[in-house]
Structure 1
Amino acid sequence: MDPLFLSPALPSTLIHYIIHHCTYPTTLIICSDRAEFLSTLTQDVKAQQQQQQQQYGTTTDPDTDTGPGHIGQAPRQPSSLPDHTASAPGLLAPPPLYQLAVTRHIRTVFIPTVSHLRAFLSVFTVQDNLIVSAPPATTSTAAPGSSSSGANHRAHLLLVYGFLGLHRHTSEWSVQGVSGTAAVLVEAAKKAGLRAVIVEAPAPSPPAETTDYRQHEAEILSEKMPVLSGSSKRTGLDLEGTGWTAKTIEVSRVLGRWFRFQKGEWEA
């Protein structure tokens, strides 16, 4: 299983992907603290709810009454709209039981620094996981109406969300630093029998409804980083005038050594 670098995804998109395409012993590593991620996820969901309401033509006219319903429900539709829009699911709708069964057995870890990430990966194993247990052998996580063979083909991933973002603006933002962490990630996934996957968050500048994942991926992979990390420069190595201190390399060349670039399931 080749390690993958997938196209950027919003937090809600990532969660949807994990629930519908992954199963035990998948481990999701979120490169931020819990409060920060939940805040970003909440903002993301609210933005998509507003977009959903605008898409379905909500209005305050009491005769048409197309305002949003309760949380978890789609906005009420005027009679002039096509019937299929009335069944659009709400972003916060209660999940089906099979989805709850899946999420109970997926481990989620919040890691705030590069040092913590490397330390976690260096001792990572699915056998010693005391927090999330394996599902019973008779339990099927297949969606209603789907075959059991489909459930067996769910991915087993060691997925890191925000890998590059964790390194950026630190002394580890370099070929040396990023390659070192990537090597540890790939090795940890291989030992655990999982597929290593990296997903980045898209840039926050464009509105969610106009997000172009391909553009964001191109921007991320075209970023440049120095060859040596800041920590190496402080060790006393006299590299002035050798060209190494000013030399930069694109992210795509660095990660291309370890990962295969691929579109995510969420990209149409």
Structure 2
Amino acid sequence: MTPTVISPASPVELLHYMITYQRYPTTLLICSSDDEFRAAIAEELKGQIPEEQLQQEPDEFGEVIIDHPLAALPIFRRVVARHLRVLFVPSVIHLRAILSVFSQADSPIPPPPEEDSENTKQGARPRPPSLFAYGFLELHRDSSEWSAQGLSSSASMFVAAARRSGFNPVMVEPKAAGGLANFEHVLREHAPILSGGARRDEGWQGRTVEVRRVFDRWFRFQTGQWDIKWPEDNAS
């Protein structure tokens, strides 16, 4: 269970991946508020859905309805149907508090009905569940914990919490988070060595280190399914 940082994904790409490839008791930590994440999904879908598929007349609440399976409220009904646990984490303090007590036993999400029968099949070796953190860096970026010291503290807690529960630790950042264009730019972003460093217009005061070097201690880096160019894509 090697800890992994996967290339950035949009909210819709992430949910599609979770629905398609993940199973109980995988847990998703969304490092933002519920409202912020839903707003990001709605904004993304507006850019993906052809104009003719949009209902132009607002509903009784003054909102335009988007004809897309992920747009229906509650937004996570398909994730819940897969018996995946979703937790919203609005601050670094909340993240560390959750990680300090994280346990599968505390989850209110029950196993799917077929889970027990599948696991009792002779020779069955189910893939270990994952603990995802979506927006880990983004959560730290505008806080006093944006530093090698702060990131290391949270990352070590994240990996420890996952391993303690038998989960595979995985991090994914939102696309274009912090104004960064791609995965390489995310990993090359600089943070001060110690927490509480002063920021100048052109960067940080004092010594800095790349995010990649901070994470190298625990994580490998991998391209996400959403960024892989398959042969049929190249042929089109």
Both proteins in one fold, TM over 0.5: yes
1:257 and 2:235 correspond: no
Task: Tell me the percent identity.
Answer: 42
Alpha-carbon distance change, 261 to 138 in structure 1, aligned in 2, over 3 angstroms: closer
1:48 and 2:33 correspond: no
Q: Distance in 2 between matches of 1:6 and 1:256?
A: 13
Q: Distance in 1 between matches of 2:211 and 2:151?
A: 9
Query: Any residues of structure 2 matched to 1:185-264 within 5 Å, and which?
Result: 185-203=158-176, 215-230=181-196, 246-264=206-224
Moved over 6 A (4+): none
Deviation per residue, 1:220-257 (Å, 9 max, x gap): 11110000001xx79xxxxxxxxxx6110000100111
Q: Distance in 1 between matches of 2:36 and 2:71?
A: 24
2:61 aligned residue: none
Indicate the SS of the match to 1:170.
coil
Q: Of 122, 144, 153, which aligns to 1:180? A: 153
CA RMSD of aligned residues (A): 3.2
Q: Distance in 1 between matches of 2:137 and 2:159?
A: 15
Offset at 1:136?
2.1
Aligned residues of 2:19 and 2:82 also touching (Cα < 8 A): no
Q: Distance in 2 between matches of 1:161 and 1:92?
A: 21
Q: Distance in 1 between matches of 2:144 and 2:168?
A: 28
2:134 aligned residue: 161
Aligned residues of 1:105 and 1:133 also touching (Cα < 8 A): yes
Indicate the SS of the match to 2:9.
coil
Q: Which one has the largest radius of gyration? A: 1
Indicate the SS of the match to 2:182.
helix
1:27 aligned residue: 27
Indicate the SS of the match to 1:127.
helix
Offset at 1:92?
2.6
2:13 aligned residue: 13
- Structure holding more strand per residue: 2
Q: Of 154, 170, 183, which aligns to 2:143? A: 170
Q: Under a length normalisation based on structure 2, what TM-score does the superposition of the two structures give?
A: 0.76
Deviation per residue, 1:100-137 (Å, 9 max, x gap): 486351100001000110010000000121x2111224
Aligned residues of 1:163 and 1:200 also touching (Cα < 8 A): yes
Aligned residues of 2:23 and 2:82 also touching (Cα < 8 A): no
Q: Aligned residue pairs: how many?
A: 204
Aligned residues of 2:138 and 2:177 also touching (Cα < 8 A): no
Deviation per residue, 1:178-200 (Å, 9 max, x gap): 00000000000001111000000
Structure 1 residue ranges without an equivalent (≥5): 54-66, 72-89, 142-147, 207-212, 235-244
1:80 aligned residue: none
Q: Under a length normalisation based on structure 1, what TM-score does the superposition of the two structures give?
A: 0.68
Alpha-carbon distance change, 93 to 194 in structure 1, aligned in 2, over 3 angstroms: closer
Aligned residues of 1:19 and 1:102 also touching (Cα < 8 A): no
Deviation per residue, 1:142-170 (Å, 9 max, x gap): xxxxxx9xx97566110000000000021
Structure 2 residue ranges without an equivalent (≥5): 57-66, 199-204, 229-236
Aligned residues of 1:202 and 1:216 also touching (Cα < 8 A): yes
